Every structure is written in structure tokens, then in C-alpha cells.
Structure 1
Amino acid sequence: MSSTRLAGRLTRLLNLVPYFTARPGISAADAARDLGVTPKQIMDDLNQLWVCGLPGYGPGDLIDLSFSEESIVVTFTAGIDRPLRLTSTEATVLLVALRSLLEMPGVVDPTAAQSAIAKIEAAAGSAAAGPAAAADPVPDDPVAARIRDAVRDGRAVHLTYYSASRDTVSERDVDPIRIVLIDEHTYLQAWCRTAEGVRLFRFDRIDAARILDEPARPPQRALDDDEHLELFAGDPSLPAARLWIAPTYTWLLDYYPLTDVRLLADGSCEAVLRFASPEWLVRLVVGLGAGVSVLGPPALRDAVRARAAAALDAYDVLGDDAAG
């Protein structure tokens, strides 16, 4: 199981007890719809909670539930429903996390996060206050706010999106599934009606978003499988280039959908980049200079050499003109 899926499950487990305590008798299907998972995942999580609880792990220590697919009731919470009292260290960690989320567009409502920060600081006192406590309010990005509203309300969205691997701006209708945070970037996970598949849309590459007057209807198979959260899965229908990347250029891994990364002893790496436009990829590699080399396919390598040679020839012409 990937780290993304483990993190997602941990989040659900931490919230299930108060969720079911507030909704006694709810069915697994209704809970799954509320939480954005499948009924099978709900039942698996409940079976995991069955053996969780307080140290001692005997009668009266473990969470106790009465559940079936038709009805779920928490009979003993093991204290998870009690008001949380934070130490100064815990409050500081939580404040740092909330302030970090404010820098990630679309993850949270900035107003709600800032309100939570103010309440924690007021409760924890000066021990948890930091230099960012008096910072100006963070405005909500309008595009991120519309996407968050669409996910919350289950509405389809029309996107204007820049694709880095294709070097194009496209218009497409999508059925939102959830918002995810991967490698310090925020993404909308959605069913793309154009591609007829699940895609991840990075928030800072969404130029515009318009909520459509129709409900989001992602296919059930898109909701059942979390493999789409593996960000750099690539599009198998596109041609692939194998690249050598110098140690000082490994930042490219954060900006392009590189897969099959192999780290080398000198700090450089080899990786695969799928592309739709050979012209775009040639232009990208030439622009990066000695930091990136094409290992294959041969036709692409030859195209890069030809473009680089043409650029050098142009410099020679300029030099001759200046000398004359």
C-alpha cells in the first residue's frame, strides 16, 4: 500500500469514531458517500478500529462497536470523543501545520484556518504564539475556492488547464472526486470526460474554473481505486524519452511528470518523461543546456543535437557580423 493511501486511511480512522458517534445507526453505504470512500473500505476500517484503543488493550480499553452494512453504532469510544487538551508543544506543532496549509491553495478555507489558529493561540497563550501570529489574513484564491465548493457540493467543473508535459492549454469538463496534497502541491483528483480517465490537476496550473449546473458523476471504478493518487504514473499512450539529469538539475523531478527514476552514484539520475509534442521536449532539453541529456530514443536525441547545432551556428553568424 502506498504512503498516500496509508495517510488517507489514517485520516479516516482518526475521524470515524466521532463521525459515527454523531450519527448512530448510519449505514455503511451512507457513510461511504459522506466520506468519499467505498462501503468495503468503511467495513475494513471498522474492523481495524475494533482492535484499537488505550494501553492495556483489555475490556474497557478498546474501542467497541456494533456494526453491519445496514447499521453502525459506537458503543465505547475509548475517550476519542473527549475534548482535546493540547500541551504547548502539541499546540505549536498544530499551529505550524495550519500555517503551512494556508500556503497550499485550495486545501483549506483560509478564513476557517485563520480562525482555528487564533483560537489555538488564545487557548495556548504565549507558549504557542509565533512570529506568524500577527500576519495579515491570507486571501482565498477564487479559482481554488470554486474548486473546493465544487468538491463539497458534488458539482461538475469546466477547467482551463495548462499541461506541462504537453505544453498546451486545454478546456475540459471534469467530475471532481477529492482534493489531495502530494509533494507540497495541491491537486484536484477528478474524472476527466475528455480523457475518459482519472486525472490529477495541479491547482497552480488551473487558469480558470467554472462550476457547471450539473452534478459530478465520476464512474464507480474511479472511486474504488486509489492507484490514481500515484501522481507520476504517466500516460501510457504517449511516447517516452529517457533522460540523464545532472545533480544540480534534479529539481526537475518536482516540476515534470518523471517516472522510473534511477539515482546514480554521483548524484545524477536517469528518468523517463512522456511527452505529446516532440518539438516541446526538444526545446525544453536544449534550454536546459548541459544539465539534461537525452539517452533515447535515438530520433529524439538526434533532434536535440540538430537544434543545439543550429543554435551554435546562429551564434557564429552573430559573431561574424559583429567582427565585420
Structure 2
Amino acid sequence: MSSARERLTRLLSLVPYLDAHPGADLEDTAAYFGIDSDTLIDDLQLLFVTGRPGHMPDDLIDASWEGGQIFISNAEEVSVPVRLSAEEAGVLVLALELLSSLPGLDSEAVATAASKLRLAAGENLRTAVDVSPIDVDEELLSAMRQAVDDESALQIEYYVASRDELTTRIIAPTNLVPGSDWYVDAWCYSAGAPRRFALGSIRTWEPADHPPLSVSESSSRSHEVTLGFDGRGAWLADELDVTEREYFDNGETSVRVRLLVHSVDWLSRFLLCHADVITEVDDTDAVSAALRRLG
């Protein structure tokens, strides 16, 4: 079952495709869009109530698929392939710039994609799109990236603004995360738990002579979690970067998802924020952490 967002995206691509391929085979078109023929027919039936404001017969798209060949008409309003706005292209370029700084990625491929997006948006604007990534100490970012790759530890001096305190910690970085600042997910030996640190609050850093993470510590890094949401929270399934999604017509759970979680701390805060719509979770550590926050 497709989400509303997935279906809208497919419909916006389906009309230009059919307009450019009159008489397209029903089965071949379904395969092209990665759906079955029944789902495609549902989409075509939806086109009958789609068109310009006014809702008169001449305002609506007409579609036929008798004999297994698809023809559409009166679809000029949406027959042009969807193009990114300057703002959307800018956001994507920024995301690609950030991705290029992450370890383990093909930076050349990312740079090529960003260049193409800049060109496309520049043509629309008749000017180039200038997107600047997050300011960061490049030497610190490089040290964190190297520590992630080597699975090594660092000793850092970390400023805690809420206490106006400079703390010394030994951490084992596991993942770099871009946001309003650059962040690093790490096992904090001082706290004995995973933590997320803002690079902008790290004052000094140096290699630390510390043994590798134990099996129990390593297992608390990235792991998959199952979450269930009721009907009120079903929208969260579209907001999260999930690996699996399953919808239900009956019962308390409306949608169940699987997602990769890099931080128990993040998950515990997510559970507290959305506790009223979460119906199931299979991470006992995150539940315990959330309960401790309440206490």
C-alpha cells in the first residue's frame, strides 16, 4: 500500500510519462513505476477527478486503458515533468555538500550530482545558486572522520553551555551527523553510554590510548528498531528514514516501521515527544532511558 506522498509523487510523474507515450502498455507501465496493474488502474481512475479548478468535464483529465493500452487527454496542465524550485534545489545542493564530507561515500559522484543541480537551478533563476555548508573546524572534522574510520578513541575538552562548564571526556566516535551544527555520535567512556556531541562545543582534542569498544558497547551504536504508531501518529512514518513500512486497517497500530537508530539517547527523546501516538517499541534500553528522563 502506497502512502499519500508516494502516490502523489507517482501521479506527478505518471501523467507526463503517458502524455509522451500514447498507447503505452498497461503492464509495461506498471512495471516501469514499480507497481502492479491494479494499483496503476487505481491511479488512472483518480485522474478522472484531477484537473483545473472548476471541476467541469472539460477541466478534468480523461484516461482510458481498454485493450491494455493507455491513452490520456486534457492533461496539458500537468503534462510537463515536475521541476525543482530554486529553494528545493538549494536544499538538495546543501544536503549533497554535507554528504560529501561524510566518511565512506563516493565524493566524486556526490560532487557531480551537486554540480548538475546547481546548473539546473541556475538556468531557472538565470543565476547560480550559492549554498554554503555548515561552518566547521576542518581539522577537527578530519580528526573525527579519521577516528570513525579507525574505530579509535579521542580525549576531548567539551563545553557544556547549560552548566557553563568545560569537561574532559574520552570518546569513541561512531558516526558524523550534519545539522544546525556538525555532530558526532560516540561512545562516552566517562558516562558509560552513547552520547551526541556538537563539534562547535569541542575546544581541544587529541588521540587517546584506550582499548577498542567492547561487544556490549559496540552493540549500542547503530541498530534497527521497530516502532508502531496509531492513526494520529501515522504521519511520522513518512517523516522518518525507515527501512520497512507496514500499514494495518484494524487494531491499535495503524503503521509499523523499521528504522536504523544510531543513538539510544535520540530514541529515548523521540519516545517521550511522541509517547501518546506510539503503540509499540522493541528497544528496552531506549524505553528505560525515557523513563529515567521522566524520573
The bucket for the TM-score relative to the shorter chain is 0.3 to 0.5
Normalised by the length of structure 2, the TM-score is 0.46
TM-score, normalisation: structure 1: 0.42
